[in-house]
Amino acid sequence: MNNNSSKQSLRIGIVGGGISGVALALDLCRNSDVEVQLFEAAPAFGEVGAGVAFGANSVRALNGLGIGDAYRKVEDRTPAPWEDVWFEWRHGTGESKYLATTVMPGMGQSTVHRADFLDVLTTHLPAGIAQFNKRAVGVEQNGNEARVTFADGTDYRCDLLIAADGIKSALRAHVLEGINAEPAEPRFTGTCAYRGMIDSDTLRAAYRAKGINTHLVDVPQMYLVKDGHILTFPVKQGRIINVVAFLSDRSSATPQWPADAPWVRKTTQAQMLEDFAEWGEAARTLLECIPEPTYWALHDLAELPGYVHNRVVLIGDAAHAMLPHQGAGAGQGLEDAYFLARLLGDSRLTADNLPAVLTTYDELRRPRACKVQRTSWQAGELYEMRDPEIGADEQALAAKLESRFNWLWNHDPETDVVEARARLGWGNAVRRILIVCAQTGVRPGDTPAQITITRRAMPCELST
């Protein structure tokens, strides 16, 4: 790190080897002024779960982090001629009556198998960056240095510690205590999900046998009923259909999950089919093709009042774990990683302005991530006919589903970086905005939101 006329490396420790932690490490280790160490609790890299979806905003972050090509090697897209379709929406009962289509122009449903994507990313990590069997158990700070301790008795000292260790983060409590905030533990949402993977040819044959249109295999679907919904989309280059079947218990305003019960466990097909006994034939046929489902208790976090305490920073699920109903959780972690990579790798970073850089991260990233958390919960309410204004009104529901995601997807993470540089006095803000506009096709004045972003990032005398 630059420090007046001398130059020394910024030591950065990243705790957590999921997608956001690895993506950030990959970008930072390309910078000769940064020393990066990545600590993973497991014996090797690995992701829990199956398919994960990315919106246009997330893909912009992937491209900016230099891993867009790696993503495209393993991604799936909605096939032609439905390439712009994110989801088709249908009733989950009866004949699966069509409700609406949500489109993401130029993207459609962009998905990847989590483990496949992480495998591709980690092959690009230089030797010596990652250390395994390093479960963080605590952190302390002394002046401008952070020290993280691990379960094996070792420790690591650095100028900046980034906690990317997920919803059960061991480091989050340190940050919240440091900013005099209440502790934040994962909370059970009252929603559970059955998950499974189906060979697409198997599902297609099962649908043909029952006279069900195989279009429902080829195009991402969302089946809706009161207090439940099922989604399907392809992974593994279309060979596999990822299925998630959600049910919500709304009998308590503060649902509790037993402390000694696992969040993920195996279950039986019989139990799953019993829970979906009243659903339509398309949904039930889908579930009949999953012989060994898993059962997931969905947890999230409350919106946090801060992501930074001195030299310790929360990113990804450690900061803003959310329900999966907008396919946005992993993408928000990537936006975090992109923002930090661009600023921590900037030649204008110094020991003196590092605190200001971290403040801009908290000020600019946290409001957006909190909004995505909040609207992800609201999306689940909408899908399950519990939206307080729309309920089961088909016409209003269809209109809402067709447009409610645009604000999320249309965001360009570079606009946050531009604004951060302007706040830091790092110059060239106007030129950078023009570059962003040229790259994205966005022009100031297109929408009120875009006008607001542009004006905030410009000097006052040029923003009117």
DSSP 93: S
The region that residue 191 occupies, defined by phi over 0 for left and psi between -120 and 50 for alpha, beta otherwise, is beta
Reduce the DSSP state of residue 457 to 3 states and report it. Answer: helix
- Rounded CA-CA distance 96/237 in Å is 26
Q: Which two tokens stand for residue 36?
A: 């990066």
| 112 Cβ contact partners less than 8 Å away, ≥ 6 residues apart | 51, 52, 54, 71, 74, 75, 76, 235
Strand extents, DSSP E, 136-238: 136-142, 145-150, 155-158, 160-163, 187-199, 221-225, 228-235
In the residue annotation, 195 being an active-site residue is answered as yes
Cis peptide before 81 (omega within 30 of 0): yes
Query: Between the CA of residue 108 and those of 40, 46, 77, 154, 220, what are the distances in Å?
Result: 33, 27, 7, 46, 9
CB 279 within 8 A of CB 247: no
Reduce the DSSP state of residue 88 to 3 states and report it. Answer: strand
Smallest CA-to-CA distance from 205 within 217, 193, 223 is with 217
Radius of gyration of the chain (CA): 23
CB 207 within 8 A of CB 285: yes
- Rounded CA-CA distance 116/71 in Å is 9
CB 422 within 8 A of CB 457: yes
- 195, 311, 368, 432: the catalytic one is 195
Look-up of token digits 């997330």: 58
**Other CB atoms within 10 A of residue 331 CB:** 28
Q: Output helix, strand, coil percentages for the chain, rounded to the nearest 5.
A: 35, 25, 40
Smallest CA-to-CA distance from 39 within 170, 188, 220 is with 170
What residues act catalytically? Answer: 195
